[in-house]
Amino acid sequence: MTKSRTEATFLSPIVESRRWVEGVSFPAERPLLNVSQAAPAAPPPLGLRQALAEAALNQDDAHLYGAVLGRGELRQALANQMSTHYAAEMTPEQIGITSGCNQAFAATVGALCGEGDEVIIPVPWYFNHKMWLDLSGVTARPLQVGDDMLPDINAAKDLISERTKAIVLVTPNNPTGVEYPKGLLRAYFDLAQSRGLTLIVDETYRDFDSRSGPPHALFQDPDWHQTLVHLYSFSKAYRLTGHRIGAIAAAPERLFEMEKFLDTVTICPSQLGQIGARWGIDNLQDWLAGERDEILTRKQAIIEGFPVLEAKGWRLLGCGAYFAYVEHPFDRPAEEIARKLVTDASVLMLPGTMFMPEGSKIAERQFRIAFANVDAVGITELFSRLSHFTP
């Protein structure tokens, strides 16, 4: 019997890993350190919450259907912000608002791909990207990264077939944390342009990039919209995870096709979430700069503290944004170790097998550490527990 699309794909790693801690009691002196999920656990700043409350009480349209591609004022505000951030000229007609960045990816794939088409994605991959391709009947072509965690463009060329529709890049990367160099993004843009493909660049974590100035110059190309689709999330910047607000930057004619998908799935993004995102753009840039500084402090704590693990045989493969990607020294597979870490060290982190094709031997040696909710003190404690752990 033929499997349904959902039966044919894997369980979300976040959902699966949460089940590992169900019913487990953690000692008072060793509470759970949860480094499994890259989402802020704290609510938005008070001012944003007050803006949401005021809108809920006083704006009738905050409770009604709205434009499928989002509120005009938010599209304009994001276009203005992106114009400054990328030193480019962006217009609101090139912006669509979605119910989270996952939906932005889903709408993009829906507009680009048909049954049996192919999309190239570097591995380790963001698991929800792979899941959506499975659910869409689109074949994911895994592109292995090098020791620097960067996808080799010559390897990408070899994967292109007559069914290839797009190449996906995530920077700063989830799960490795690596920031892709400007030149590499340009090389992939040129490759996609020359082959008639779409380059999908997911910059969910762009607000936590350690570099100053535009992270790339793709939007400065006058014909960027013919090749590039850009994805973004307000969730990480303004702690709006539960409101599900993301965005797409693309050619208006591509947004026209995506609008069909969005109208079918959610009709429109959350009005309150969009009001909150607009308020964040207008009022929280100094606050967001402080959040970025804190994340960069944690990144530095990872780098400076890692010799404690390195002495035990661990390797740091990548670090940036919300993530560190590491290799463990043990002769057991990562998923087995991950389950034992819960019970023996009160640590929940995701094994590399959740970010790689099934059967990958490399993945069995790897872990992702998501430090969105673990400060420098917590990172020191994490490394202490890992350094004393034996499976």
- For 189, phi then psi, to 5°, come to -60, -45
The answer to whether residues 22 and 72 belong to one domain is: no
Q: What confidence score (pLDDT) does residue 214 get?
A: 95
Q: What confidence score (pLDDT) does residue 21 get?
A: 85
Q: Under a CB-based contact definition with an 8 Å cutoff, are residues 255 and 70 in contact?
A: no
| pLDDT above 90 (res 66) | yes
Domain final residue pick, 249, 268, 283: 283
pTM of the model: 0.95
Q: What confidence score (pLDDT) does residue 184 get?
A: 98
As a whole number, mean pLDDT of residues 178-194 equals 98
Q: In what order do the strands lie in the sheet with 139-144?
A: 95-98, 246-249, 228-233, 198-202, 164-170, 118-123, 139-144
| pLDDT above 80 (res 1) | no
| pLDDT above 80 (res 186) | yes
The answer to whether residues 248 and 348 belong to one domain is: no
In a domain, 50, yes or no: no
Burial class (CB in 10 A: 0-12, 13-18, 19+), 300: middle
In a domain, 108, yes or no: yes
pLDDT band at 160 (very low <50, low <70, confident <90, very high): very high
**pLDDT cut 70: percent of the chain above it:** 100
Domain final residue pick, 251, 283, 315: 283
The answer to whether residues 113 and 182 belong to one domain is: yes
The answer to whether residues 135 and 161 belong to one domain is: yes
Q: Which helix (H) or strand (E) holds 10?
A: none
Domain final residue pick, 266, 283, 300: 283
In a domain, 127, yes or no: yes
As a whole number, mean pLDDT of residues 173-183 equals 97
The answer to whether residues 301 and 271 belong to one domain is: no
In a domain, 57, yes or no: no
In a domain, 49, yes or no: no
Q: What confidence tens digit (pLDDT) does each residue in 194-249 have?
A: 999 999 999 999 999 999 999 999 999 999 999 999 999 999 999 999 999 999 99
Tell me, what CATH number does 114's domain have?
3.40.640.10
The answer to whether residues 185 and 260 belong to one domain is: yes
The answer to whether residues 267 and 322 belong to one domain is: no
Q: Which helix (H) or strand (E) holds 51?
A: helix 46-58
The answer to whether residues 100 and 217 belong to one domain is: yes
Question: What is the count of structural domains for the chain?
Answer: 2
In a domain, 59, yes or no: no
Q: List the domain range (segments joined by +) for residue 107.
A: 64-283
Q: Under a CB-based contact definition with an 8 Å cutoff, are residues 276 and 80 in contact?
A: no
pLDDT band at 363 (very low <50, low <70, confident <90, very high): very high
More confident residue, 111 or 1: 111
In a domain, 54, yes or no: no
Tell me, what CATH number does 296's domain have?
3.90.1150.10
Q: Under a CB-based contact definition with an 8 Å cutoff, are residues 266 and 246 in contact?
A: no
Q: What confidence score (pLDDT) does residue 19 get?
A: 87
As a whole number, mean pLDDT of residues 1-29 equals 85
In a domain, 58, yes or no: no
Mean model confidence pLDDT for the chain:
95
CA dist list (Å): 18 to 12, 224, 246, 328, 389:
10, 40, 25, 22, 21
The answer to whether residues 82 and 215 belong to one domain is: yes
The answer to whether residues 208 and 72 belong to one domain is: yes
The answer to whether residues 143 and 259 belong to one domain is: yes
The answer to whether residues 215 and 254 belong to one domain is: yes
